[in-house]
Amino acid sequence: MDESHMALPGENVAPDAPLALRGEQLVKRFGAVTALDGVSLKLGKGEILGVLGDNGAGKSTLVKILTGFHQQTGGTLYIDGQETMLRSVDHARSLGIECVYQDLALANSLSIYHNMFLNREIVRRGPFRLLDHKKMRERAAQCLDDIGVHVPSVDLPVERLSGGQRQAIAVARAVHSNAKILLLDEPLAAMGAREAGLIIDLLMRLKEKGGLSIIMIMHNYAQTLDIADRIMLMQRGRVTFEQKSALTSVSELMDIVRREYRAMRSAGAH
């Protein structure tokens, strides 16, 4: 069957919209711990999916499977309709899957432009493979400008930037690398309203440009409903709720979580 033409549940994406990614019954065990207990998910092209859930629900584990860092114990992954076993982070990257962790993967003492070309530096022609700083500077400035990220100078070391600006650079870098699927693990964690606003604006602009599908793990329900087209709630390694953002609310999500919590407590009491 052509996976790219599967209809999504709940009319969340047009029935014939191609899927960027699909996971079917993903299981991940770490020894005796079952972190993912049969998670199925779909991500439409150009869609933003928000993943919510308690600590230890399996959100980061899911992202680490989608980014090739962990391999699933069971279940199947389809990238752009093709059944794919992601062997490594590099393998996932070669398929256009990039992950941005909070404050991770940036070299703080290096300049903004150097960070944007980390591990894919531009070198000058000739026998010595000298770095082409001029070109990297220009391209970095252009790329940041394209997506509306404003920094005083691309020569500034990353450590001189705010948390929000740093996160924006990490996102810009992933986008610059032609990511088709962007995975964000708590991009707004520990950020003030202004910094979070910067990232939200950036994500919205990327969405408008099209071509990029995003999965973001979030903590704040209201913020998630604002940004994401669809949300998915994970509890104890399973997906317990999934809905278009416009069709649910913070209070509905809170009710589901509370109900689950009560059920767990009463089960524990017996």
Ligand X SMILES: Nc1ncnc2c1ncn2[C@@H]1O[C@H](COP(=O)(O)OP(=O)(O)OP(=O)(O)O)[C@@H](O)[C@H]1O
Kindly list the residues in this chain that would bind ligand X in the complex (CB under 6 A): 30, 33, 35, 53, 55-61
Closest CB 13 distance from ligand X, rounded Å? 24
Where helices occur in the chain by DSSP H, the ranges are 59-66, 89-94, 112-116, 133-146, 163-176, 193-209, 221-227, 250-269
Tell me how far the alpha carbon of residue 264 is from its chain's centroid.
30
Q: Give whichever of 4 and 102 is closer to Mg ion, judged by the CB atom.
A: 102
Nearest 10 degrees: Cα torsion 92, 95, 99, 104: 70
CB of residue 134 vs ligand X: minimum separation in angstroms? 41
Residue number with CB closer to ligand X (53 or 164): 53
Which of ligand X, Mg ion, none lies near 68, with the C-beta cut-off 5 to 8 A by kind? none
Q: Residue 101, exposed/middle/buried by CB under 10 A (0-12, 13-18, 19+)?
A: middle
CB of 60 to Mg ion, least distance (A): 3
For Mg ion, which stretch binds (CB under 5 A), given 52-60, 105-113, 129-137, 164-172?
52-60
Task: Rule CB under 5 A: say whether 60 interacts with Mg ion.
Answer: yes
The smaller minimum CB distance to ligand X, of residues 22 and 59, is found at 59
Interacting residues of 248 by C-beta distance below 8 A, sequence separation 6+:
225, 231, 241
Residues that bind Mg ion (CB under 5 A): 60
